[in-house]
Structure 1
Amino acid sequence: MEPIVFLAFLGLGIAAIVGAARRVDVAWAKAAEELGLSFDSGGLFGRPVIAGRVGDLEVEVTTLRRGSSDSASTRYRIGYPPFEVPFELRPASKLPKFLGFVGGDLGAPAPGLEDTFRAHTPDPRGLRALLGSERRHLLRTLAAAYRGLRVTASELVVTIPKAERDPTVIADRVRRLVEIARAFREAEPVDEPPEVPPEPEPTASFDLEPDAEPEMPPSRFPEPVIRYVSAPVDEAPAETTPEPDPTGLAADELAADLFGRPRLSFETEARFADRWAGTRIRWPGTVREARWVDDDRVFGERPMTRARLLVATIPTELYGEAEVEAIVALPPGDAERLRRDDEVVVAGVLVGIDGLLRRFYVADAELSEVADRRDTR
């Protein structure tokens, strides 16, 4: 009986491995389709790979295994046209003394990013000129979000210490890294120098008599004619344009204003904070996902329905027609009402955006209309 039991357990193990690989293949294929890239499953013992181009950038997503470890990582690589200055940047280690003691090549502190990155380059002065303020901001953003980070003259590589199986997470992360890589490649190489007023020309000295005045050439410009006009006392005050109704703010108009022009994400978020944060909206949308959660990093720790809605599409240079979504915090009971592709209308308060993923965040929301789109097909 023992051989039979062994074979039974072996069969169950193989079935579990095949089932897990199949689920990964389905998830990665879905992410590749959403991104418009190709997918190769790699077979039972190979590695899944998502690859292709987004504009002039190369994209590759794959899994990695270290030695005999069963744990896998997910590696995202975005390749861009190479810079003339060769370099490699990695986040500064928290154990520099230990690494130096064991012989690790730490590199030199990156110019302008001494506390954040270590750099390897044969041209330190060229790298300093390359890392202007925009690029330094993007690098700090990456270092704060990803520990497994490497930036070189030709590629951006991020390694996540787990095998990712959520197609939405994969697609969103690829979009975010593509936007950062593109902004990093196209940013201005050096900071704008401050405007320095020209030094005044030295005053020429003339030997003049005390009461004499120098003869000035005739002016090329006629003397200005100044007319004084008194406004009539009984003139009616100018009409003021009434403020627009906040609930009339359309999602596509706001999306075009914030996401329709090439800006860095922090500039987009600052524009939103200055003009639109706290605005009440009432928007139609199509349900992409709705689930019950206990807490959310944006909306805080409380039970809610976290719904993801498609609210607009806008033209972009990189992706053509790009979709804009709203992440909406609804009452917990709405999770059971909503299904994918339902047409809804939500009312709530704009509290934030994600400039890279083109997302709005709407708090204190409620449903005013729900229509099952599937019934109308």
Structure 2
Amino acid sequence: MEIFVILLMLMVGIGVAIAVTQSNRRKVAEAWKQAASQLRIHYNAGDFLTKPELYGKVRGCRVKITTRTKNQGGGSKKFTHYEINYLQDLRFGLSLTEQTAFSGLKKFFGANDIEVGDPSFDDFVVVRSHDSARAREFLNPARRLYVRRMLSLYPGAEITDSWIKWDSRGLDNDPSALLTNVKRMVDFALNMTAEAVDEQKETVESADAGSSPIRPVDDLEAVFTVGDRSNPPTYVVDSIPSPPISVTIGVDERTEETTPTTAFEEIHQEVDEPTETDRAAPTVVAVPQEEQSGSSSTRGVDAHDVCHDLFGSGKISFQIDEIFKQNYEGLEIRWSGTLSRVDSYPFDLVFGNDPGTKAEFELAEIKGDTFRSYTVKAVVQLPAEAHDALSPRTGQTIAFAGTLLRCDSFLRLLFVADGWTVGSSAAE
């Protein structure tokens, strides 16, 4: 009888464990699907032989997110592995990691670490390269500031002259955390290889001096998110409301010293308050007189004017968000664009929990600060039944209407809520 009870308890325990594991897997899968949809990259669910994976390109940088298992403390623990490749390989064998007690021991026994002459940086970062002169030249004050802040936000990250990699403890199951991590790392990768950073070395003080941030390159937003979007600080950065950096399953929560909050506070203290002249004054789009006398919403705003006003060269995310909020948020629009993508969704981070269809329209080509150009797109919320009717029309120019809801300055997207295609039955 006792053996039967023990076997029954074992079977129940195994069943509960399997159910919890399946529930966790579904939660992770939904989060990764949402992140893939928002970032416009691919999602592979994996199977018993392969790991789940997110992969593709974000702003030209190759992105890969997968899982890995490490042996720690006598057991195995799962991690979410992020890997972002730079636009180009600089090819001088640079390796940047955070100083630890072990790295100090290696240095004592003759490890060939490179010092750049900035004590606050040299005491915090281990620099290695087969070309020490090139490494010192490359790590100008601006890049040193980027590297220090990146390693503060992402302890244990590995930075080279071709990629950045980081392992997040547990399986990240919050799409906002996935998006935030990818956006920060892509911004870091772009800033590390941007030629304009070299030209700005005289305008940036060393990290320990509390310098003002340099102007981002090619419309890049600042490398790090600081604070809450409901009360944005001086130099913002992300289009996502400050989410947790990592949400874990089945593992202990992060220690206090590795939480992003401390890093955010440190960064906010380091950044000087920019003067009023540092901020670009928002551009007001002229509205026809007959529409000004009516409601605050209007259909008279031209799509190309809005795109150039928001995403034209020389603006950073904070300025773009302010211009959108002051001039365009809540406006009813009637625009047309080239249909590039149609997706159905059970719920969406932007449009809410009700099922529907998202149609992506190309609106305008915008030139950046260099010779590169970018496509601004509108993501329009449509009824769920619109998916089948629109899918065959990819590549066609279609008129649509709705209410401007949100602007993503990182991906250059305008979100249109409660939309319909003009002339379709959905509008009725």
- For normalisation by structure 1, the TM-score amounts to 0.55
SS of structure 2 residue aligned to 1:158: strand
Q: How does 1:324-363 map to 2 (within 5 A)?
A: 356=410
Bigger radius of gyration: 1
What is residue 268 of structure 1 aligned with on the other side? 316
Q: For residue 84 of structure 2, what is the aligned residue in structure 1?
A: 78
Asked if the contact 1:324–1:358 (Cα under 8 Å) also holds between the matched residues in 2, the reply is: no
Residue of structure 2 equivalent to 1:284: 331
Which of 37, 62, 71 in structure 1 is aligned with 2:66?
62
Aligned residues of 2:57 and 2:63 also touching (Cα < 8 A): yes
In the TM superposition, what is the alpha-carbon distance from 1:53 to its structure 2 partner?
Answer: 3.2
Where do 5+ consecutive residues of structure 1 fail to align?
Answer: 195-241, 292-309, 326-341, 347-352, 361-369
| Structure 1 residue 17 displacement after superposition | 1.5
Per-residue CA deviations over 1:188-210 (Å, capped at 9, x if unaligned) read: 4634698xxxxxxxxxxxxxxxx
2:185 to 177, 184, 208: 177
**5 Å matches for 1:130-209?**
130-188=138-196, 190-191=198-199
* 1:259-310 deviation per Cα after TM superposition (whole angstroms, max 9, x unaligned): 343x6xxx7258679x96995875338995489xxxxxxxxxxxxxxxxxx9
Partner-residue secondary structure (3-state), 1:67: strand
- State the SS of the aligned residue for 2:150: helix
Once the two structures are TM-superposed, the CA of residue 148 in structure 1 deviates from its matched residue by 3.1
Q: CA deviation at 1:87?
A: 0.5
- Deviations, residues 318-356 of structure 1 (Å, cap 9, x unaligned): 76335699xxxxxxxxxxxxxxxx96678xxxxxx9964
Q: Which of 22, 33, 37 does residue 18 from structure 1 map onto?
A: 22
Q: Which runs of 5+ in 2 are unaligned?
A: 203-283, 334-347, 353-359, 367-371, 381-400
Q: CA deviation at 1:251?
A: 11
Distance 1:67 1:168, change over 3 A: same
The equivalent residue for 1:6 is 10
Question: 1:89, CA displacement in angstroms?
Answer: 0.9
The 2-side partners of 1:18 and 1:190 are apart by: 50
Structure 2 partner of 1:321: 376
Deviations 1:204-248, CA, capped at 9 Å, x for gaps: xxxxxxxxxxxxxxxxxxxxxxxxxxxxxxxxxxxxxx9989989
Q: Post-superposition shift, 1:5? A: 3.2
Distance in 2, matches of 1:56 and 1:289, equals 24
Whole-Å separation in 2 of the counterparts to 1:128 and 1:99:
20
Q: What's the secondary structure of 1:5's corresponding residue? A: helix
The aligned residue for residue 128 of structure 1 is 136
Q: What percentage of aligned pairs have identical amino acids?
A: 18
Q: The residue matched to 2:83 in structure 1 has which SS?
A: strand
Q: What is the match of residue 104 of structure 2? A: 100
- Residue in structure 2 matching 1:33, options 26, 30, 37: 37
Partner-residue secondary structure (3-state), 1:147: coil
Matched residue SS, 1:174: helix
Contact 1:61–1:74 under 8 Å retained in 2? yes
Deviation at 1:21, TM superposition (A): 1.7
Which residue of structure 2 lines up, in the alignment, with residue 47 of structure 1?
51
- Would the aligned equivalents of 1:37 and 1:51 in 2 still touch at CA under 8 Å? yes
Aligned-pair distance for 1:357? 6.3
| Distance across 2 between alignment mates of 1:250 and 1:140 | 43
Amino acid at match of 1:82: D
Task: Describe the SS at the equivalent of 1:32.
Answer: helix
Q: Which structure carries more strand by proportion? A: 1
1:124, CA displacement in angstroms? 1.6
Q: Aligned-pair distance for 1:151?
A: 1.4
Rate the CA distance shift 1:116–1:191 in 2: closer, same or farther, 3 A.
farther
Rounded to whole Å, the distance in 2 between the matches of 1:76 and 1:323 is 28
| Partner of residue 259, structure 1 | 311
CA distance in 1, matches of 2:325, 2:61: 37
Q: Which amino acid aligns with 1:283?
A: G
SS in 1 for 2:130: coil
Rounded to whole Å, the distance in 2 between the matches of 1:177 and 1:66 is 23
Counterpart amino acid of 1:164? D
Report the aligned-residue RMSD. 4.8
